[in-house]
Amino acid sequence: MAPLAPAPELRRKHLRRRLRTLGFLSPWLVGFTVFFGYPLIATVYFSFMHYNQIRPPTFVGLRNWTYVLGQMPLFGPALWNTLWLVVVMVALRVAFGLGIGLLVTKVKSGAGFFRTAFYLPYLAPPVAATVAFVFLLNPGTGPVDGILSRLGLPAPGWFNDPHWAKPSLVLLSLWGIGDLMVVFLAALLDVPKERYEAAELDGAGALARFRYVTWPAITPIVMFAVVTGVVQTMQYYTQALVAGKLASGVGVGPGTVVQPGYPDHSTLTVPQLVYSLGFQNFNTGAACVLSLVLFVIAMAVTSLLMRRRAGLLSAED
């Protein structure tokens, strides 16, 4: 017996419902297609092309891929630096943001002042904040090393030392922790007080209260901070570029070729390399390969984190 076909009236109703749904979704669909779908397809397409953005693209097979993955010496350091920052900077920012958030919730008097004081640095424009940090940490002319020397402490080279350049960037990011502090503060204030009271009645100490009351309640926010932190750090560009350029002390004169990543490529990140290849050398194919590598890594790390999320969160979350 042949299945019954839906009545034409019913089909029209389904179609209208679909069109209505699509209508509501259309702003997002248009945005997604124009700003994500199309660029993604274009990136894949150009990764197999030679295209200098002025002459029509020509197919070059896997040449861009073999160049980036096998012949470009800066790819390794840039990827390493980016992943280093993802692991160290994100972890420290989350821990520090949570720590400051906890601290300001405990402050009895002047809470508003401390909350504002910790939040304010986040409002400083990234370039201005980086310029200030490079100036303060300059080994020759900055005050920080002068003070450390007077105290008999070792004075690092900070942004001028390849071993200290990335930790200096982390320090800069911790200074501007205001964004995460606010998020954690809101989450911490949202934990029901009764749970703490019940835990205290059960004899739980401060550590146990954090472990069994606070942590389960704020885990979704921690996950949010980690995932957005990973995505943002994968795109880390401005501060690293400005710090490297300023710390080198080189003015851009005639014929000066300035390479990002000073000193010794220690501040070179993949996004800087993408810009340099794509919009200074107009090596579009290689820049697209790098972008795709970054995209795949970001997707993999985010998927992994989202998977881990299931294990971290309690059933009710």
Partner 1 sequence: MPRLRQLPALLAVAALLLAGLAGCANPRTGSADDDPTRPVTLRLWHGWSDKREVAAVDAALARFRKKYPHIRVRTTGNVGDATVNQALRAGGDDAPDVVASFTTHNVGQYCSSGMWADLDPFLRKSGIDKNAVFPRVLLDYSAYEGVQCALPLLADAYGMYYNKDAFEEAGISRPPRTMSEFKDAAVRLTRRERDGSYRRVGFMPNFRLYENSPDRLFAQWGPRYFDADGKARLSRESAAREFFGVQRELIDALGGYGPLERFRTTFGDEMSSQNAFLTGKLAMHLDGEWRGPMLAEAGPGFRWGTAPLPVPDDRAGTYGRGYLTGTVVGVAHSSRHQNAAWELVKFLTTDTDQVVAFANALHNVPSTKAALASPALDVDPAFRTFLDIARDRHSVSMPPSVNGGMYIVALQDFAYDVEAGRVRDLAAGLRRLDRQIDADTLQSTG
Report the interface residues with partner 1, using CB under 8 A: 38, 41-42, 45-46, 50-58, 63-64, 67, 71, 73, 138-141, 157, 160-161, 246, 248-257, 259, 262-265, 279-283, 286
Report d(CA 140, CA 270) in Å as an integer: 30
Minimal distance in Å, beta carbon 231 to partner 1? 25
Name 73's Cβ contacts closer than 8 Å, sequence gap at least 6.
none
The residue (of 156 and 216) whose beta carbon lies closer to partner 1 is 156
Residue 32 or residue 113: which is nearer to partner 1 going by CB?
32
Q: Which is nearer to partner 1, 116 or 149 (CB)?
A: 149
CB of 106 to partner 1, least distance (A): 41
What's the CA gap between 171 and 165, in Å, rounded?
Answer: 10
Chain centroid to Cα 191, Å, comes to: 27
Residue 283 CB, nearest distance to partner 1 (Å)? 6
| Choice between 27 and 255, CB closer to partner 1 | 255
Other residues' Cβ atoms within 10 Å of the Cβ of residue 270: 24
Which of 227, 195, 225, 220 minimizes the C-alpha distance to 210?
195
Residue closer to partner 1 by CB (options 109, 256) is 256
DSSP calls for 218-263: HHHHHHHHHHHHHHHHHT--HHHHHHHHHHH-----TT--PPSSTT
Angle between helical axes of 165-175 and 126-136 (0-180°, round to 10): 120
